[in-house]
Structures are given as C-alpha cells and as structure tokens.
Homo-oligomer: A and B are copies of this chain.
Amino acid sequence: MASICLTRFNGIRRFTLLLRLVYDSHMEKIYPFESLQKFTKEVFKYMGCPEDQIDLATEVLLNADLRGIDSHGIARLSGYFRLWEAKRINAKPNVRIVHETPSTAVVDGDGGLGLVVAPKAMEIAIQKAKVAGTGWVAVKNSNHFGIAGHHAMMALEHDMIGMAMTNASPLVAPTFSVERLLGTNPIAVAIPADKQPPFVADFATTTAANGKLEILQRKNKDAPVGWIQTKDGKPSTNPHELKEGGALIPLGSDREHGSHKGFCLGAWVDIFSAVLSGANYGPWVPPFVSFLAPPADPVGEGIGHFLGAMRVDAFRPASEFKSHMDNWITRFRSAKTIASEPKLIIPGDPEREMTTERLASGIPLNEKVIEDLKQLGQKIGASL
C-alpha cells in the first residue's frame, strides 16, 4: 500500500508541498500530531478497547499519517468505528495462539482491530526468533492492520529483520481476469543497519495503491494507463473505474511488462496470510467497509496476516551484518543517477523524512476526512 516514495527528496518535496498549498489550501488543514492522537484515543476508548490496546491501536494508526501514508491513517478511523457499530470488529479481543512449533504460530485475532492483533502477533514472532532464530506467525480472524511497515519495523530494535504481509478486500484482477480476486496485498521488509537508517520497504503488490486513485479523484485527474482496467478488462484512465466494476492491476501493468509477476506476489501474500492461518482468501476476503456485507459463504475467519522476524545473528554476528548494510546503503545511495534526479532513494528514506517533518509541523488532513472525523466526534462527544 505504502509507496516507498511518496515524495522523492527534500527539494522536490518542498516544491510539492508548495504546489499543494497553492492548489489545495482550501481543501486541507494542518493538525498537530498530539491533537490527532488525543482524538483517536477517545474514539477507541468509546468503543470499549482496553486501556493498553487504546495506546497500541493509536500508535499503529497514526504511524501511517506520520509516514505520509495518509490513506491508512486517521482517514480510516470512522470506517473502523462503523465496522465496530456493525459488530464486525470486536473491541475486546482475546488474541491467542491456537497452534505453534518452535519457530511458528497461528494466532486467532478474535475479530479484533488489526491495529492491535498484528503487533501482538509480531511480538510472538520476535519471541520465537529469540529462541529458534526465526519466528513466523500466521494470523486469522483479524481486520485491517494499518501499514505493514509498522509491524515489520518492530523487529529492528531487536537486531532482527521484520516482515509483514496482509491480504485485503478484493479490488485487484489477476492477469487476464476481469474478476477482482485479490487485495492490494502489501509486503513490508525492514532490515537494520548500523550508522545508516534501516532499509524499510513497504509496498502494495499492485501497480498503484488505492490511495493514489483517491488523490486523483479529488483532483479530477486521469490515472496513467496501467493502473486500472474496466469491468471488461480494458485499459482505463478513469480513477472512478472501481465504482463501475473495474479493477486495480497487479504490479507490472500488463502481461508484456510482467503483471503475471505482480499476480504471483499478490497470490503469495494471500496464501501465506490466509490459507496458512485459516482466514478468508481471494474473493472471500470481507470488505473493509460496513456498507458492504461480507460474503455469505466464508472459507475462513476474518482477514489474515503473515508476520516474520529473523534474528540477524542467527546468520552472522549482528555487528558484521549491520556494517555491511551500511556499506550496501551507502553504495546504492551514492549511485550515479539520471540527469533529473540527484540521488537514488533507499526504501524507507522518504517516510522517515516525512515523519520528522510531520512531528514538527503537523499532519495535513483533507476536508472530507475532517468532516468525517467531526461527525464521528459529535457522535462520541469528542472534538477534533
């Protein structure tokens, strides 16, 4: 879901922000991180989440806003609330291991917020890795888990490599298909370094994530060919095409450019997240929105995630590994680039820079999101 590169580097980012001020200033307002944090906690408290889960869910949700993945942050809060109202999210889940071996576990999320279930499952993967070298946890009976990168990054402070995947509501048509059979099924891989910041890849296995279409919709702009197709499988540039029965396209855009590989990636995520765990897979994955009913013939429970942690020193001394990661990152960052681009971007750089900026200057929210949150605030007696 998250692009590794929402903004490309400081210079262009500043320019982009300036442009956005010019064109979008009537549509956006900047909120300090702390005020969004306070509001989010009040919502989760109203839903009846236990105290420790309120903090955890808030941290995970807002990490998306801090990292610039606006589609996965507070913009989703009212959606979670409506799913809770519809009794499709359990605010007091008993997240538990239902099967395990030294290096694996299956976790039942008990219908809880994925924002809570996924970090708890990742904690189990990390504990397994401490003993067995690696830990791999498949999760069933969960919900949308925010940004994959958050969970993968939990491994970093333990000198571990972290991985996170999740399946998602079907919006993607595999190569040659006109049916939507897969979600945007993201993969995140977080790898520690020493003096350099960590390598953090976090990306949807589609050409473009749904959040990018939403930006085009707001701006009344066409999408590039290769992002979406019509309900008959023809190329489309209409960012509203999904509402007409169209679909997102796997990474690669078309067969000639490797969309079958993007399909492989999305399928891999679906199978690891849901067929291994006992969650719903493929077209059976329940929708993230309360106004669409889940399929009447489920093949599992809720949606599924797959989380992994590998102790670096299960392979070689951590100091040696991290020093070579510094060398890897430094070499790639200093690569000769095309004339228009001053440097190669290491996965994780743009999101880290965005976090620094947003913690300092606040988080811009779109007017529709603000309106949505204000309505939610009125309902629960909290103000944004």
- Write the residues of chain A forming the contact surface with B, with a CB cutoff of 8 angstroms: 3-5, 99-104, 106, 131-134, 136, 138, 161, 174-179, 181, 189, 191, 199, 201, 203-208, 224, 226-227, 232-234, 251-253, 255-258, 260-265, 267-268, 270-272, 275-278, 281-283, 299-300, 310-312, 314-316, 320-321, 324-325, 327-328, 331-332, 335-339, 341, 343-345, 347
Contact = CB atoms under 8 A, between A and B. Distances in A.
22 contacts: A4-B261, A4-B264, A102-B102, A102-B103, A104-B133, A104-B311, A134-B136, A174-B335, A178-B335, A181-B331, A189-B268, A201-B267, A203-B258, A208-B257, A224-B256, A233-B338, A233-B339, A251-B251, A251-B258, A253-B257, A276-B321, A281-B328
Number of this chain's copies in the assembly equals 2
Given A178-B338, A337-B233, A189 B264 contact: yes
A339 to B, nearest CB: 8
A199 B271 contact: yes
Contact of A102 (B132, B136, B343): B132
A181 B332 contact: yes
A44 to B, nearest CB: 30
A357 to B, nearest CB: 20
User: Which 5 interchain pairs have the tightest Cβ spacing?
Assistant: A101-B133, A233-B338, A201-B264, A104-B133, A104-B314
Given A268-B201, A271-B325, A314-B101, A179 B251 contact: no
